[in-house]
Structure 1
Amino acid sequence: MDNTISKIELRNLLIDDYLELKKSMLESYKGLEDSYWYKGEIEKLLNVFPEGQLVVLVDDVVVGSALSLIVDERQAMSTHTYDMITGNSTFSTHNPDGDILYGIDVFIHPKYRGLRLGRRLYDARKEMCEQLNLKSIVFAGRIPNYSKYSDELTPKQYLDKVKAKEIHDPVMSFQLSNDFHMVRLMRNYLEGDTSSKDYAVLLEWNNIFYEKSPQLINAKKSVIRLGLIQWQMRLLNDLEEFFDQAEFFINAVADYESDFAMFPELFTAPLMADYNHLSEADAIRELARYTDPIRKRFQEFAISYNINIITGSMPYLLDGSLYNVGFLCKRDGTYDMYSKIHITPNEVHYWGMKGGSKIQTFDTDCGKIGIMICYDVEFPELSRLLADQGMDILFVPFLTDTQNGYTRVRNCAQARAIENECYVAIAGCVGNLPKVNNMDIQFAQTAVFTPSDFAFPTNGVKAEATPNTEMTLIVDVDVDLLKELHEHGSVRVKKDRRSDLYRTIKLK
């Protein structure tokens, strides 16, 4: 190959490209009878689906092409031949309202192989599939090296060895490396393909961004803005002063059009100052009397500021037992309650708290989220269950008094982001409360953690607040990057888990 290439271009096919297209096809398909498209066929193809026909040019000469139709999924996945799927080259099978981009041809002139031009064509096809909101790319791939092994291997055995990289097949090996997966084997797909022994493999690439019925109004957002509040513990005169302080922060993050506001664990503790003459257990039960009024006021804030509020946590009495709970107050006026599952030895010893028993994710207008309170994030099984339910963002309100306690929460939260391929947001309290027993000092650095791959920060930290300073942290996270990671990441933790050997299950 001549190494003096000046320009490579990828664009849509034009009828004026026909002669160069034909020459490249004849070189690419030597040995196959009538291995080129007639000009009239190309004219028909350009007439029904011009945007689906791609060519790659080297120094203004067509050296490769990818041709496509749109068909119905039922048609693409049923048993068919090449003539059937192309309507005997009339392309009457093309359906603009279909949901599958069907590849009917792709080739690169032999002289220009090795430049990864085929990958450029496939990447352009994938981009087209996403832009047209089609479910997947489907086509039947030849297995041209099978004729060399057909006396000793069945087609299935041959394909198993190709998948295991024990045998190289110029078509199938390329497709598998290009994120296509085998659907099934088909016989008599392409008449005259003797090197494949008349076999072909139906292949599919799934569009992870496909939406069956795209919404024009109230569609789920890709980029979600988080407003995290690093709350200063301060003595308060009464409940209204607490509401004024909380509303100030809600207003602040809502002004930046945040989708979520999150407060820390037990950020209502300053209200216990009036009960400091009581035992710790009695004082926190007095604080629990404020929980329902706080939840109701936060529901009002969520509506009036058009923001989803995660209310950190607060004590809650139910049938005489004390729990550590919080509320997800949604901007549509509804709310959900979540409970701390794992109670620390301190909470048991001083307050007699009990752990909740409900493990769940929450549906919001920004997708599915999880909420775990502080110590819960140190138990990886819990977040794995939420990830299995489709969680994209895990919110962790926390309260830690020392830096080593904070380190446990932080490092575990970052691990949860990596192992579950999700975002993890943590928010804590700072300052001190000298007049509230068992709540004296606080240490926190609010942060948002990401998986660790090329689309995310190298250190897995999207943003972090100044330690031990009252402030807000406004952070954008893109859930579409998670979809890409699940399918095409450097490592795919969720997909590669050996569920044949071990799994995490919810008992109730």
Structure 2
Amino acid sequence: MRKELYVFVDDRPVPVVIRNYTEQDIEQMIAIQQESFPPPFPSELWWQPEQLREHVRRFPEGALCAEANGRLIGSMTALRVGSDQLKGTHSWADITDQGYIRNHEPDGETLYVVDICVIPSFRKAGIGKWLMQTMYEVVVHLKCHRLLGGGRMPGYHRHAHEATAEQYVQQVVAGVWKDPVITFLLRCGRIPVGVADHYLEDEESCNYGVLMEWRNPFVK
């Protein structure tokens, strides 16, 4: 997969390519996370080379990156999972195999988001939304039923004393409260379908994750 487009940085059009990343991109893929999540963010939580190799080998269609001026500026990764894997509750670590996606099911009906990341200097250029849109196209191309993923809800810690996680999401959707991640996903066309406790270790989200989906309009 390869698509070319323009984004605007400081009102200046910049050509960008969205394509599948390969093993040759591993060093730059790690650099994206190093720049996006600098210390004191734990370096062991950045992508590891073997994780990226698993993505490329097991499901290259779900391994996307954005490139500008020969440099990777963002990435998005997904795997396919079946309905049995989604029964009950799950954590990010469980559903993504700690990011190694060795549980990828080639015929899984759900395309599950593992990660999306954009370097700070391009975050206002719409790269994240273009990566998401491209992953929707993967959903359609592979005839999956939907895209699903758990997002952080970093504003929740400010309201945890007055609302459950579910109520917090409802208030954000209603426009009463604001949350940068939930709002971004809403703007990308995602719809909340549930909240998962102990989804990831994240103090701001009180360890919750909001599950949001995009349904394939061509599959009934």
**Residue in structure 2 matched with residue 181 of structure 1 by the alignment:** 191
Cα distance between partner residues in 1 of 2:135 and 2:203: 28
Query: Helix, strand or coil for the counterpart of 2:148?
Result: strand
Cα distance between partner residues in 2 of 1:164 and 1:96: 37
Report if the CA contact (8 A) 2:152-2:181 is conserved. Answer: yes
**Residue in structure 2 matched with residue 42 of structure 1 by the alignment:** 52
**Residue in structure 2 matched with residue 85 of structure 1 by the alignment:** 95
Report if the CA contact (8 A) 1:26-1:35 is conserved. Answer: no
**Residue in structure 2 matched with residue 196 of structure 1 by the alignment:** 205
Tell me which structure has the larger Cα radius of gyration.
1
Distance 1:107 1:89, change over 3 A: closer
Report if the CA contact (8 A) 2:99-2:114 is conserved. Answer: no
User: Which of the numbers 114, 120, 131 marks the counterpart of 1:110?
Assistant: 120
Cα distance between partner residues in 2 of 1:50 and 1:16: 13
**Residue in structure 2 matched with residue 68 of structure 1 by the alignment:** 78
Cα distance between partner residues in 2 of 1:171 and 1:80: 20
**Residue in structure 1 matched with residue 33 of structure 2 by the alignment:** 25
Query: Helix, strand or coil for the counterpart of 2:93?
Result: helix
Query: Helix, strand or coil for the counterpart of 2:73?
Result: strand
**Residue in structure 2 matched with residue 208 of structure 1 by the alignment:** 217
Deviation at 1:97, TM superposition (A): 1.2
Cα distance between partner residues in 2 of 1:88 and 1:80: 12
| 2:210 partner letter | V
Report if the CA contact (8 A) 1:141-1:171 is conserved. Answer: yes
| 2:123 partner letter | R
Deviation at 1:25, TM superposition (A): 1.3
Deviation at 1:20, TM superposition (A): 1.8
**Residue in structure 1 matched with residue 4 of structure 2 by the alignment:** none
Cα distance between partner residues in 1 of 2:155 and 2:185: 14
Cα distance between partner residues in 2 of 1:135 and 1:124: 16
Deviation at 1:142, TM superposition (A): 0.7
Instruction: Tell me which of the two structures has the higher relative contact order, counting C-alpha pairs closer than 8 angstroms and 6 or more residues apart.
Output: 2
| 1:198 partner letter | N
Percent of aligned pairs with the same residue? 29
| 2:62 partner letter | G
Write the mapping of 1:30-429 to structure 2, written as runs, cut at 5 A: 30=38, 32-33=41-42, 34-76=44-86, 78-190=88-200, 192-210=201-219
Report if the CA contact (8 A) 1:76-1:138 is conserved. Answer: no
Cα distance between partner residues in 1 of 2:86 and 2:191: 15
Deviation at 1:194, TM superposition (A): 1.3
Cα distance between partner residues in 2 of 1:90 and 1:121: 20
Distance 1:204 1:6, change over 3 A: closer
Name stretches of at least 5 consecutive residues in structure 1 with no aligned partner: 212-508
Query: Helix, strand or coil for the counterpart of 2:194?
Result: strand
Report if the CA contact (8 A) 1:7-1:60 is conserved. Answer: no
**Residue in structure 1 matched with residue 6 of structure 2 by the alignment:** none
Distance 1:6 1:181, change over 3 A: closer
Distance 1:112 1:44, change over 3 A: same
Cα distance between partner residues in 2 of 1:57 and 1:118: 12
Name stretches of at least 5 consecutive residues in structure 2 with no aligned partner: 1-8
Runs of 4+ with deviation above 6 angstroms = none
Query: Helix, strand or coil for the counterpart of 2:154?
Result: coil
Query: Helix, strand or coil for the counterpart of 1:7?
Result: strand
Deviation at 1:122, TM superposition (A): 0.9
Cα distance between partner residues in 1 of 2:159 and 2:106: 41
Query: Helix, strand or coil for the counterpart of 1:150?
Result: coil
Deviations 1:389-444 (A, max 9, x none): xxxxxxxxxxxxxxxxxxxxxxxxxxxxxxxxxxxxxxxxxxxxxxxxxxxxxxxx
Report if the CA contact (8 A) 1:5-1:58 is conserved. Answer: no
| 2:213 partner letter | E
Distance 1:81 1:52, change over 3 A: same
Deviation at 1:103, TM superposition (A): 0.6
Cα distance between partner residues in 1 of 2:211 and 2:14: 37
Cα distance between partner residues in 1 of 2:124 and 2:15: 16
Report if the CA contact (8 A) 2:66-2:127 is conserved. Answer: yes
Deviation at 1:152, TM superposition (A): 3.3
Distance 1:151 1:28, change over 3 A: farther
Cα distance between partner residues in 2 of 1:50 and 1:146: 34
Deviation at 1:47, TM superposition (A): 0.5
Deviations 1:84-109 (A, max 9, x none): 11223332210101111011001111
Deviation at 1:183, TM superposition (A): 1.3
